[in-house]
Amino acid sequence: MESVLLGAALLVTLVALVIVILRRPGGLPGRGAAEVAQAHGEADEVRAKAKLDAQDVLEKAERQAQQIAATARAELEEEARALRDDLRTLREDLERRETRLAEREQRLDGEMRRLEEWSGRLAEAKKALEARKAELAEVEEERRRVLEQAAGLTADQAKGELVAAIENQAKREAIPIIREIENSARAEGEKRARKIVTLAIQRVASEQTAESVVSVLHLPSDEMKGRIIGREGRNIRAFETTTGVNLIIDDTPEAVLLSCFDPVRREVGRLTLEKLVLDGRIHPQRIEEIYERSKSDVEQLCVRAGEDALVEVGIADMHPELIALLGQLRYRTSYGQNVLKHLIESAHIAGVMASELRLPVEVAKRCTLLHDIGKALTHEVEGSHALIGAEIARRYGEHEDVVHAIEAHHNEVEVRTVEAVLTQAADAVSGSRPGARRESLEAYVKRLERLEEIARDRHEGVEKVFAMQAGREIRVMVKPDSVDDIQAQVIARDIAKQVEDELTYPGQIRVTVVRESRAIEFAR
């Protein structure tokens, strides 16, 4: 509608502009009066026509505006009615909700009153229960006192006896199951272990006789003893002061004895005295010269012995200080067994077992070859040779698995690797084989006595105990009327466990419990 009005206004303006131009005094150039008058007439006609058209347009616009207004009014009235209906619906819904809310509040008030009543009842019941509990406690205490007076035992004593009886009964019931499982596992484990160890022992060629360090030096004649002693004993004093080795000269013909706690120092002293005897010139200055030369020779021999051990075992690289310490073990013995030869033999055994188990052979050999390296310094450093050896190996850059195998081979540290287990097994095989080691009489007797004491201690029904086969077996005789077959198994197991916890020994110790029943009658 606005566009139509705008068009009409522009048309009227254009016509008026033409009329103004035509009415100017000069008129249009080159036109006559008649033409001007004609133009005025045409303009008037156009203006009149434009007015008519404008009126028609205005009337049409007014009619369209009235129609649009009527349509908009109807739509607004319709929307107003819809809004009034929605408002009425919302008001009704709000009233219903308010009604339900009031009803719910009334119900909640009722529930709160009932809860308060129940709370009061529960408080009363709790008081009654506590009073009843106090009464029961008094009754139980009185009952316990009566039972203790009747039984002659306190509650703790009765509890201890009950626990001991239950423990014994549990052991008796568990023994058959445990025995069956152990027999099955032991049969399979022994079969495989026997195969591996047997193959390892068969493939290792080692000496079957024990070796000890030579501490006696043979002389060409007894006259040499006087020359060794020297005038007023100056030579022997100089020798002992320089070498640190005690020289014992007794009535043994053509022999002197060298005594020292350090085997390397004893070997240096022996070599020094041997060279002095061969040279024949024995005096303090000569003793010092020969001692320095012998000391250097022994150090070279130690290094060479360590290198030979590495070549024999098949290990390529090792710290020079470890090689020297390894060579010093050539002069150490353990129960008569040469320590260096024991290490070489154990390394071969561990290598074969590792090969059978498909484990790194070189690592197993290295662990076993170094497991007693601490014995080279046990006379200089306090502590266990296993822990000393582990610290030495760690100091000179050995792998942590090797260090752990060294420190755990006597169970002073909990075993965590397979290599440590192989080291223990190889050490036990090499140390317990026939002819490898010998034990002093005093230690042997003490071990046997302790075995018999363990078997007698705190085991009811034990009648006699015998340590047999050089301490490899304990035979326990029990009373048949006090110990049944299952209890005999319990006793054997307890004794074996106590021996494992208290004693250190190579190989294994067999515990045999003998329960013998005899029926004796006389015919008259």
Series of mean pLDDT values for 10-residue runs along the chain (524 residues): 55 60 52 70 78 83 87 89 90 91 90 89 89 86 74 67 77 75 75 65 50 64 84 86 83 80 81 87 88 89 88 87 88 77 88 87 90 78 82 90 90 87 85 58 69 79 78 83 83 86 74 80 74
- Tell me the CATH number for domain 441-515: 3.30.70.1350
Q: Work out whether strand 337-338 and strand 333-334 pair parallel, antiparallel, or are unpaired.
A: antiparallel
> What radius of gyration, in Å, describes the C-alpha atoms of the chain?
59
Please give the sequence-ordered ranges of beta strands (E in DSSP) within 307-460, or none if there are none. Answer: 333-334, 337-338
Are 67 and 21 in contact by the 8 Å Cβ rule? The answer is no
Torsions phi, psi of 460, nearest 5?
Answer: -70, 145
Q: What are phi and psi of 512, to 5 degrees?
A: -120, 120
DSSP structural state of residue 447: H
3 state DSSP class of 34 = helix
* Alpha carbon 492 to chain centroid, angstroms: 33
Query: Where exactly are the structural domains of the chain?
Result: 2-120, 216-432, 441-515
15-45: b or e for each residue (b if 16 or more CB lie within 10 Å)? beeeeeebeeeebeeeeeeeeeeebeeebee
d(CA 496, CA 176): 17
For residues 259 and 267, what is the distance between their CA atoms, to the nearest angstrom? 10
pLDDT at 443: 65
Bridge partners of 508, per DSSP, are none
Q: Give the H or E element holding residue 512.
A: strand 510-515
Q: In this structure, what token pair is assigned to residue 43?
A: 């303009």
User: What confidence score (pLDDT) does residue 154 get?
Assistant: 67
> Where does residue 173 fall: left (phi above 0), alpha (psi -120 to 50 degrees), or beta otherwise?
alpha
Residue 90 is predicted with a pLDDT of: 92
Helix, strand, coil share of the chain (percent; to 5): 70, 5, 25
Give yes or no for a contact between 476 and 402, defined as CB atoms under 8 angstroms apart. Answer: no
The first and second tokens of residue 62, run together, are 């007014």
The identity of residue 444, as a single letter, is Y
Count of beta carbons in the 10 Å neighbourhood of residue 87 = 10
Exposed/middle/buried for residue 466 (C-beta within 10 Å: 0-12, 13-18, 19+): middle
- Residue 467 has phi, psi (to 5 degrees) of -90, 120
d(CA 497, CA 491): 10
Segment (H or E) for 3: helix 2-22
Supply angle C-alpha 208, 209, 215, rounded to 5.
155
Instruction: Tell me the whole-structure pTM to 2 decimals.
Output: 0.47
> Domain 216-432 belongs to what topology?
Hypothetical protein af1432 (1.10.3210)
DSSP state of 410: T
What H or E segment, with its residue span, contains residue 218? strand 216-218
